[in-house]
């Protein structure tokens, strides 16, 4: 993996544009057979069913490897959270089966493996995302792929192609849902459709069965309210464990003849344009990579204070830290987190780690919650909204900082976005360094072996990857 960025200029925009759609119109009452036929023959279903996985370019495969490596690093790092053991314990008891869990002892059914893997990656808020979905695709797609026994027989290139395909489906479903729904749903509400599509492709569904699988996934997808978990951070996180499980379950139900209503995120006339560029506009390149294991909304503030850190003599010389950002960032309000979930969804704690530790890392959000210096710094954070920043959300997330010192000197930053956006992507070297920092403390020497397999996976059988995903 070279230190250069992977995607060519014609595949990633300098800015991500926000589609505009009219609200969903509920379909008129028709016979079941007519409704199924109309949905099955919709352009979106045709595009999804006939998408040519063999046409993926070298740059797409390279980006898929970056996503895969990043997700596995986050999963390894997440084994340090309390949720990890609870997730493994639950699925081995309630979802019995013989498929191995991700970085954990025990086995479960396909639905259980998907649930545990989604929960595990979601437990550490460092995985990739996409601004217009206001959420995350890969966190469910990778566990979904790992949950299928057919995956064991794949060539590595085909595994990467399916992962890339899943990003295209899930991201479009997320944009469609957010454009049409007045409520802000967690990622599980839409990444379930990506998992269902990947499962359908891997198991060879015809178009009608695919229609039912996607309809079931949309209907049963966890439409949980994201801002409730922002205001009250818990292990519920972004709903992606449930999304991964729902996507797998929906596909297996459809395969057995279980019927579903049309998935409006794919078949509603209002979103038809969103699906017509499948295979032309590659949302795989429009994912961001996080530099830090905290909510994306806090990361512009982290960059703003880090830009001033060299001018601060010592942390105790700080009298007040003013963060000016957008409304959703202000909602990350917890000052003194008691759990890692509260820390990961706390802008004051993220800023305190950046100034007090020089970095926001797993130790800072998992093991340093009682640090008196960090608690003192977090108490000095004051968050204000900016109307311009509010207007730019969700396509852009901005913050600036003003640090007032005890001698009344004021340090003021420029406006900052988070690192890792598509127009300013993390380099390959930065992705590798992040992976190593997350995985090596947990996996030891296996981390390097896993990295090497991932970055040459297109020339290997996927079995060489799977054998490295056992418990630390």
Examine residue 436 and state whether it is found in any structural domain, yes or no. Answer: no
| 361 and 259 within one domain | no
| 169 and 222 within one domain | yes
| 262 and 206 within one domain | yes
Q: Is the link from the previous residue into 394 a cis peptide, with omega within 30 of 0?
A: yes
Examine residue 193 and state whether it is found in any structural domain, yes or no. Answer: yes
Give pLDDT < 50 ranges for the chain. Answer: 2-13, 21-32, 34-35
Residue 326 has a pLDDT of 98
| 105 and 27 within one domain | yes
Examine residue 430 and state whether it is found in any structural domain, yes or no. Answer: no
Contact 7/167 with Cβ under 8 angstroms? no
Q: What is the count of structural domains for the chain? A: 2
| 286 and 301 within one domain | no
Residue 7 has a pLDDT of 39
| 250 and 114 within one domain | yes
Examine residue 153 and state whether it is found in any structural domain, yes or no. Answer: yes
Examine residue 447 and state whether it is found in any structural domain, yes or no. Answer: no
Beta-strand pair 381-385/410-412: unpaired
Per-residue pLDDT of 141-193, as tens digits, reads 999 999 999 999 999 999 999 999 999 999 999 999 998 888 899 999 999 99
Place of tokens 């990739």: 128
Residue 37 has a pLDDT of 54
Tell me which residue range forms the domain holding 376.
296-412
| 388 and 345 within one domain | yes
Examine residue 444 and state whether it is found in any structural domain, yes or no. Answer: no
Examine residue 1 and state whether it is found in any structural domain, yes or no. Answer: no
The CATH number given to whatever domain includes residue 16 is 1.10.4100.10
| 264 and 315 within one domain | no
| 387 and 350 within one domain | yes
Residue 105 has a pLDDT of 98
Per-residue pLDDT of 310-345, as tens digits, reads 999 899 999 999 999 999 999 999 999 999 999 999
Residue 42 has a pLDDT of 79
| 308 and 263 within one domain | no
Examine residue 433 and state whether it is found in any structural domain, yes or no. Answer: no
Residue 182 has a pLDDT of 82
| 313 and 224 within one domain | no
| 140 and 67 within one domain | yes
The CATH number given to whatever domain includes residue 369 is 3.30.1330.120
């Amino acid at each position: 993996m070279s230190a250069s960025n992977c995607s060519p200029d014609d595949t990633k925009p300098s800015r991500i544009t926000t589609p505009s759609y009219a609200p969903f119109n509920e379909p008129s009452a028709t016979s079941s057979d007519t409704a199924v036929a109309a949905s099955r023959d919709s352009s979106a279903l045709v595009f999804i069913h006939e998408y040519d996985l063999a046409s993926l370019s070298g740059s797409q495969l390279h980006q898929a490897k970056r996503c895969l490596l990043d997700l596995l690093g986050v999963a390894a790092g997440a084994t340090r959270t309390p949720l990890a053991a609870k997730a493994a314990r639950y699925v081995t008891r309630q979802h019995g089966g013989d498929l191995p869990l991700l970085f954990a002892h025990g086995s479960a059914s396909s639905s259980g493996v998907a649930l545990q893997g989604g929960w595990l990656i979601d437990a550490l808020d460092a995985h990739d995302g996409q601004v217009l979905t206001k959420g995350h695709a890969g966190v469910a797609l990778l566990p979904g792929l790992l949950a299928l026994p057919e995956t064991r027989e794949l060539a590595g290139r085909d595994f990467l192609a399916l992962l890339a395909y899943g990003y295209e489906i899930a991201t479009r479903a997320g944009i469609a849902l957010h454009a049409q729904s007045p409520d802000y749903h967690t990622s599980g509400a839409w990444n379930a459709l990506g998992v269902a599509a990947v499962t359908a492709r891997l198991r060879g569904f015809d178009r009608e069965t695919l229609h039912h699988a996607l309809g079931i996934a949309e209907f049963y997808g966890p439409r949980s309210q994201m801002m409730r978990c922002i205001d009250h951070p818990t292990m519920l996180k972004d709903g992606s464990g449930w999304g991964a499980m729902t996507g797998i379950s929906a596909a297996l139900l459809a395969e057995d003849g279980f019927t579903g209503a049309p998935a409006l995120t794919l078949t509603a006339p209002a979103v038809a344009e969103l699906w017509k560029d499948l295979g032309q506009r590659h949302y795989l390149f429009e994912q961001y990579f996080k530099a830090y294991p905290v909510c994306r909304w806090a990361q512009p503030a982290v960059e703003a204070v880090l830009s001033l850190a060299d001018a601060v003599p010592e942390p105790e010389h700080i009298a007040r830290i003013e963060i000016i950002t957008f409304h959703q960032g202000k909602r990350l309000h917890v000052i003194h987190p008691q759990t890692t979930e509260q820390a990961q969804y706390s802008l004051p704690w993220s800023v305190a780690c950046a100034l007090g530790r020089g970095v926001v890392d797993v130790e800072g959000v998992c093991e340093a919650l009682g640090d008196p210096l960090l608690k003192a710094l977090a108490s000095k954070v004051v968050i204000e909204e900016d109307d311009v920043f509010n207007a730019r959300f969700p396509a852009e997330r901005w913050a600036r900082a003003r640090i007032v010192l005890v001698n009344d000197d004021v340090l003021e930053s420029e406006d900052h976005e988070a690192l890792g956006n598509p127009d300013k992507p993390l380099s390959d070297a930065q992705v590798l360094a992040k992976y190593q920092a997350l995985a090596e403390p947990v996996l030891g020497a296996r981390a390097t072996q896993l990295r090497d397999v991932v970055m040459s996976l297109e020339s290997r059988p996927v079995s060489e990857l799977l054998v490295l995903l056992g418990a630390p």
